Amino acid sequence: MIRWVFIITLLLGSSNAWADQDMALTPVTERAYDAFKPKGLKLGAFKILPDITFETGYNSNVYITESNQQSDMVNTIKPSVNVQSDWNNHSMEFRGEGEIKRFVDNDSEDQNNFKLSYKRNINVKRVLDFYGKTSFAYDHEERDDILDTQSPASPFRYKDLNLGLGMRYKPGRNEVAVEIDRRSLRFDDDVSFANPAVPAIRSDADRNETKLQLIHNYQIHDQLKTEIRLSYRLLNYQRLSYQTGPASFTGFDQDSNVAAAAVGLSGNLFRNVQGRILLGAEQQSYKDTGLDDVSAGTVDVDLSWNPTSISTLNLGYDRRLETDNAIEGGLTRQRFSIGYDHELKRNILLTNRFEYETRDFENNVREDTTYRYSFGGQYLFNDKYSLNLGADYEVRDSNVVGSDYDQLIFMLGLSRKF
Question: Higher confidence at residue 414 or residue 21?
Answer: 414
* Residue 325 pLDDT greater than 80, yes or no: no
What local confidence, expressed as pLDDT, does residue 7 receive? Answer: 42
Q: Quick one: which of 28, 24, 49, 25 has its CA closest to 37?
A: 49
* Residue 245 pLDDT greater than 80, yes or no: no
From residue 394, alpha-carbon distances to 53, 332, 378 in Å are 24, 20, 21
What local confidence, expressed as pLDDT, does residue 364 receive? Answer: 79
Q: Which helix (H) or strand (E) holds 6?
A: helix 2-12
39: left (phi over 0), alpha (psi -120 to 50) or beta: alpha
Alpha-carbon distance of 214 to 166, in angstroms, equals 10
CB 412 within 8 A of CB 56: yes
Band (pLDDT 50/70/90 cuts) for residue 272 is confident
From residue 128, alpha-carbon distances to 90, 219, 224, 226, 304 in Å are 12, 16, 21, 20, 31
Alpha-carbon distance of 340 to 305, in angstroms, equals 10
Could you tell me the domains of the chain? 2-417 (2.40.160)
Q: Residues 162-191: what's their mean pLDDT?
A: 97
Asked which of 18-22, 385-389, 391-395 is least confident by mean pLDDT, the reply is 18-22
What is the percent of the chain with per-residue pLDDT over 90, rounded to a whole number? 75
* Residue 162 pLDDT greater than 80, yes or no: yes
As a three-state string, the secondary structure of 235-264 is: EEECCCCCECCCCECCCCCCCEEEEEEEEE
From residue 45, alpha-carbon distances to 51, 88, 213, 268, 413 in Å are 20, 10, 33, 33, 33
The residues near 234 (Cβ < 8 Å, ≥ 6 apart) are 209, 210, 211, 257
DSSP label at residue 38: -
Band (pLDDT 50/70/90 cuts) for residue 243 is confident
What ranges make up the beta strands (E) of 71-197? Answer: 72-85, 91-103, 111-125, 128-140, 157-169, 174-187, 190-191
Average per-residue pLDDT in the chain? 91
- For residue 225, the SS3 value is strand
Query: Mind listing the pLDDT tens digit for each residue in 13-71?
Result: 433 344 455 666 789 999 989 899 999 999 999 999 999 999 999 999 999 999 889 99
Give the chain's radius of gyration (CA, Å).
24
What local confidence, expressed as pLDDT, does residue 24 receive? Answer: 67
What local confidence, expressed as pLDDT, does residue 10 receive? Answer: 41
Query: Mind listing the pLDDT tens digit for each residue in 9-20?
Result: 344 443 334 445
CB 280 within 8 A of CB 260: yes
Q: Residues 369-383: what's their mean pLDDT?
A: 97
Asked which of 181-185, 212-216, 243-247 is least confident by mean pLDDT, the reply is 243-247
Query: Mind listing the pLDDT tens digit for each residue in 93-144?
Result: 999 999 999 999 999 999 999 999 999 999 998 899 999 999 999 999 999 8
Alpha-carbon distance of 244 to 249, in angstroms, equals 9
Alpha-carbon distance of 71 to 60, in angstroms, equals 4
Alpha-carbon distance of 34 to 28, in angstroms, equals 14
